Copies of this chain bind each other. A is one copy, B any other.
Amino acid sequence: MTGSTRYRLDLAYDGAAFHGWASQDGLRTVQGELEHWLTTVLRLESPAQLTVAGRTDAGVHARGQVAHVDLPDDDLPSDAYADRLTRRLARVLPADLTVRSVTVAPPGFDARFSAIWRRYVYRLAETTGDPLHRGLVHRVGRPLDVEAMDAAAAALVGLHDFVAFCKAKPFATTIRRVLDCGVTRVDAGELAGTVAVEIRADAFCHSMVRSVVGALVGVGLGQHDAAWLERHVSAAQRARDIKVMPARGLVLEEVGYPADDQLAARAAQARTRRDEQPLPLQPAIEEQP
């Protein structure tokens, strides 16, 4: 009898040429591409099936994406199997998709349900921008009041119903806990001069990050004030005056997990919430950002 082992994959991709994470017939997606190569290099009898921490939309990038896959056991010890898989994937994957490492997942690990937070950064250029980074910086083309944006962002922190910022999905809660949200002008290094909106939350509902950035840009351009943003945080329905920003500026930078001994408990808790009808002010798991 053969068992299976769960592996954790840490990966990065340039989202420009992908129709998002999730497999779609006839379209190039990150999941589709990666499952194809896993199945091919490992000569699996049944296709590999990935579970991911953050199901990114078309065009959204990832630098710290995490996924898991269960693979049938091999003669090789699982650590050595993971190392070999890392090397093999490096040889075959396209230039816009990198699996940084494959490691044996700790007991109870679930890339999606064990995650306790996701951190996204959205990058903006006020002026003409740097052509070398145009693939990951959205050009606003006008000056932004970064201090006003950062001050307004404080209203987003905490447990709130973000329905105003979310694409509606039946029977799904739009309550999320934002752990921190800040806006800074990058003053050194490769992206000096750009404006970065950073947001970390237990999870995000569909289009939430890009709507939050759209609202903050509205503040930065002087079209709205902090009180306007604050009203939306406690609104009862989707806002019509918030722009959803283009995917290009958005990067999933990092996913947080608890200590190994809490992985299983966290996954069980998140799975239960997923199955329940949404309750008021109860946080949920990740949807598409």
A contact set with B: CB distance below 8 Å: 12-14, 61, 63, 90, 95-100, 127-132, 134-136, 141, 188-191, 251
Contact = CB atoms under 8 A, between A and B. Distances in A.
A274 B189 CA distance: 36
> How many copies make up the complex?
2
Contacts of A96: 131, 134
Nearest to A141: B90
Given A61-B132, A99-B128, A132-B135, 7 more contacts: A63-B132, A90-B128, A97-B131, A100-B127, A132-B251, A135-B135, A189-B191
30 contacts: A12-B130, A12-B132, A13-B131, A14-B131, A14-B132, A14-B134, A61-B132, A63-B130, A63-B132, A90-B128, A90-B141, A95-B134, A96-B131, A96-B134, A98-B128, A98-B129, A98-B130, A98-B131, A100-B127, A100-B128, A132-B135, A132-B136, A132-B251, A135-B135, A188-B189, A189-B189, A189-B190, A189-B191, A190-B190, A190-B191
A143 to B, nearest CB: 14
Q: Is the interface of A mostly helix, strand, loop or mixed?
A: loop
A191 B190 CA distance: 7
Contacts of A98: 128-131
A98 B14 CA distance: 22
Contacts of A191: 189-190
A61 to B, nearest CB: 6
A191 B133 CA distance: 12
A9 B251 CA distance: 32
A191 B98 CA distance: 15
Nearest to A11: B131
A144 to B, nearest CB: 17
The 9 closest A-B pairs by CB, nearest first: A189-B189, A190-B190, A14-B131, A98-B128, A98-B131, A96-B131, A190-B191, A95-B134, A12-B131
Contacts of A13: 131
A288 to B, nearest CB: 20
A97 B129 CA distance: 10
A251 to B, nearest CB: 7
Nearest to A12: B131
Contacts of A190: 189-191
Contacts of A14: 131-132, 134
A4 B135 CA distance: 38
A107 B196 CA distance: 39
Nearest to A95: B134
